[in-house]
Amino acid sequence: MVFAGVGGMDERTLRQVERTLSAGTWLIVFGAVLYSVLTVTPLVREVTPAGWEWTAPILPIVVDTAVVIVVRLDSALARVGARGGRWPVVLRWMTGLMTLTLNVGGSWLKGDLVGVAIHSVAPLLLIVTAEAGLAYRRALSGAVDRRKAEETAARAACEQAAREREQREREERAAEREAVERRASQEREHALALAREEREHAAQLARERADREREHHARQLEHADRERERAEREREHHRQVREQEERERQAQQAKEREEKEAAARAAQAQADQRRATLLNAGPADEKQPEHIARETVATAHAAGLSIRQAAELCGWSVGWVTARYGEHRSQAVVV
């Protein structure tokens, strides 16, 4: 039987097969219609009165239109699982035979058997495809209906099983609730006993912790006192060290000041002695070396001697001594 094993397919596969069958059928139909129009038009034009040759394509188009209508309606009826009676069968075979006759008529009149065979391929293929497609669609429609019936029965069985399972689950839940309530009662009693034990244990631990905290606090206070005494001793030691260092620094500064004052007094005495020696030396017999002459001029300028007196002391010219006096005056102005 056609599609004997189609019942095992799922609905999606059946729909895909139906679409493939529909596409193939319409491809064959349109190919056969086009071929028929091209083949029949020259034959009709030969038997058409002069001046009306343009009407030749009308006949094959009308016949092929009837073929398309038959195929389309058969497809729709097969999809819903209905039958149109005998008249659709008569129309289907009549249009098929007309298409066959018109396609092979030209070759038959010429006695061309090869042409008859060639031109009969498309009409015969169209007739057989229409009949086979109708059978295929009916088989597919029946398979889809059976599939839906099976699914409906399966859903009903599943619903029944679900209702039974739900009933069992309700009974099991009721039994579980009773068991849970019993266990809960036992657990509450056990929990109360544990709570009493835990409270007593917690109170004992709290007392022990309070004792440890008091001891720890006492040790902390004792340690803080020791740290305070140690810090106080360190501060006193640092203060004494700073005072000792300050006394040593002041003594060192006093000693340095005394040394500087003694050095300054010695330098001043030496300078005074040098100045007295230079001033009391009297006029020089000859020119002093330049560095000694500069020192003599500087001493004379500091003592307030005149330029001529300074020139006599160093033995240099008045112009040279004047230039040196100018240098010393410039330095004094700058200072």
Report the alpha-carbon distance of residue 182 to residue 178 in Å, rounded: 6
pLDDT at 150: 77
Binning pLDDT at 50, 70 and 90, where does residue 262 land?
confident
CA distance 13 to 3: 13
Cα separation values, 62 from 71, 229, 274, Å: 14, 128, 156
Average pLDDT over residues 128-135: 69
| Cα Dmax for the chain | 176
Which of the pair, 60 or 245, is modelled with greater confidence? 245
Predicted pLDDT at 2: 41
Q: Which of 28-42, 50-64, 146-160, 216-230 holds the top average pLDDT?
A: 216-230
In this prediction, residue 271 carries a pLDDT of 63
Higher-confidence residue: 66 or 82?
Answer: 66
Mean pLDDT score, 305-327: 86
Q: How far apart are CA 107 and CA 125, in angstroms?
A: 18
Region 62-73 average pLDDT: 71
Q: Measuring CA to CA, how many Å separate 147 from each of 142, 150, 155, 327?
A: 8, 5, 12, 134
Say whether pTM exceeds 0.75. Answer: no
Q: Quick one: tokens of 327?
A: 């240098």
Are the C-beta atoms of 141 and 12 separated by less than 8 Å? no
- CA separation for the pair 172, 178 (Å, rounded): 10
Query: Which 3 state secondary structure label does DSSP give 319?
Result: helix
What pLDDT does residue 317 have?
Answer: 86
Highest-scoring range by mean pLDDT, 44-58, 132-146, 284-298: 284-298
Q: What is the separation of C-alpha 199 from the centre of its chain, rounded to a whole number of angstroms?
A: 53
Angle between the 58-80 and 121-280 helix axes, to the nearest 10 degrees? 80
Cβ contact 70:91 at 8 Å:
yes
- Distance CA(124)–CA(137), nearest Å, equals 20
What pLDDT, on a 0 to 100 scale, did the predictor assign at position 4? 42
Residue count of the chain, please give it: 335
Q: Note whether 309 and 280 are within 8 A (CB).
A: no
> Is the distance from CB of 116 to CB of 98 less than 8 angstroms?
no
Given pLDDT bands bounded at 50, 70 and 90, which one contains residue 80?
low
What one-character-per-residue DSSP string does 180-237 give?
A: HHHHHHHHHHHHHHHHHHHHHHHHHHHHHHHHHHHHHHHHHHHHHHHHHHHHHHHHHH
CA distance 127 to 28: 10
For residues 134-146, average pLDDT: 69
Which pLDDT belongs to residue 82?
A: 61
From the number of C-beta atoms within 10 Å of its C-beta (0-12, 13-18, 19+), residue 219 rates as exposed
What mean pLDDT do residues 12-31 have?
72
CB 322 within 8 A of CB 297: no
Distance CA 68, CA 151 (A): 35
Residue 119 has pLDDT above 50, yes or no: yes
Residue with the bigger pLDDT between 204 and 135: it is 204
Q: Mean pLDDT throughout 262-290?
A: 72
Q: Which residues contact 259 (CB under 8 A, 6 or more apart)?
A: none
Q: Is the pLDDT of residue 306 over 80?
A: yes
Residue % of the chain over a pLDDT of 70: 74
In terms of phi and psi (left: phi > 0; alpha: psi -120 to 50; beta: otherwise), the region of 2 is beta
